[in-house]
Amino acid sequence: MSVLDAHVHVWDPQRVPHPWLANVPGLDRAFLPADIDTAGGRIDGWVFVETDADPSWAAFEVDWVAGLEWPGLAGIVAHAEMGGGNLGAQLDALADRPLVVGVRPSVQDGPDERIASAAFARDLRLLGERGLSFDACVRWGQLDVLAEAAEQAPGTRIVLDHLGKPPVADGLDSEAGTRWRRSIERLARLPHVFVKCSGIPGEAGSGPVFDGVAGVFDRVALDAFGAERAMFGSDWPVSGVPGTGVPVDRALDALREAASDAEWAHLAGETAREFYGLPGA
């Protein structure tokens, strides 16, 4: 079965400014579609997710990605800032770009108060009204405040990126791991919230650490959400060999081993196509 990767990045710092790359020398270069790790050809479709570039370049990034030689590109999750009162204008600027299927703001390093604000909840609802989804990239300590915001926008499809960046180093049975699990289960009770089984290599930081937790956190998310609301994402290159030394096929195999045959069809593409409204859904 071919796989749709629901979370991949490409960038070229010479075309679109990425201030954060200056602090990550191993990633501070161009990564283009021809460079993507396809897990030995098992992956043949991708959803591009914005790369936390300079926010003023959001629309340009969409146009740059859409113009690349990339036959397997299925959709684009664009950057948009939320909670600032001008989301409508940002969405208007993206409206004539047909590959845009959702948006993602930068919230993982911001204050929780922003996610908890009435303005953020209004913007979440606006996304649903515009037919767009919301990719939530937060850290595990922000999951409960995300759940509170999601409860106020039941008409908007939300997907939690990277399992909510769980406390991999602490372990699932630690106090932090227990808190993460409880927050995941709270989010999973909201039927419009989905989850990406992605980013664990990035949270582990290295191949040996990843091997020790491979599939463990994925299984918790699958039990909570069900495979019908879960999807695979590589998070390449951040969670791939350039970032962590973990090949994509290693992450893919770990998820496949944690899932049943019936669950795998959803994880490998059915859920992502349905969530993002992609062809073949």
181, two tokens = 């699990």
pTM: 0.97
3 state SS of 276: helix
pLDDT in tens, 11-54: 999 999 999 999 999 999 999 999 999 999 999 999 999 999 99
For all residues of the chain together, what is the average pLDDT?
Answer: 96
Please, what's the b/e burial string for 264-279 (b: 16 or more CB within 10 A of its CB; e: otherwise)?
bebbbbbbbbbbbebe
| pLDDT average, residue stretch 177-198 | 98
Residue 84 has pLDDT above 80, yes or no: yes
Residue 281 has pLDDT above 70, yes or no: no
Residue 211 has pLDDT above 80, yes or no: yes
pLDDT in tens, 116-143: 999 999 999 999 999 999 999 999 999 9
Residue 105's closest CA among 164, 141, 59, 52? Answer: 52
More reliable by pLDDT, 109 or 220 = 220
| pLDDT average, residue stretch 137-155 | 98
Which residues lie below 8 Å from residue 42, measured CB to CB, with a gap of 6+?
A: 2, 3, 249, 252
CB 143 within 8 A of CB 157: no
Distance CA 105, CA 267 (A): 24
- Domains of the chain, earliest start first: 3-276 (3.20.20.140)
Is the Cα torsion angle 193, 198, 204, 205 positive or negative in sign? negative
Residue 149 has pLDDT above 90, yes or no: yes
pLDDT in tens, 56-66: 999 999 999 99
Residue 1 has pLDDT above 80, yes or no: no
Pick the range with the lowest mean pLDDT from 37-41, 182-186, 210-214.
210-214
pLDDT in tens, 241-271: 999 999 999 999 999 999 999 999 999 999 9
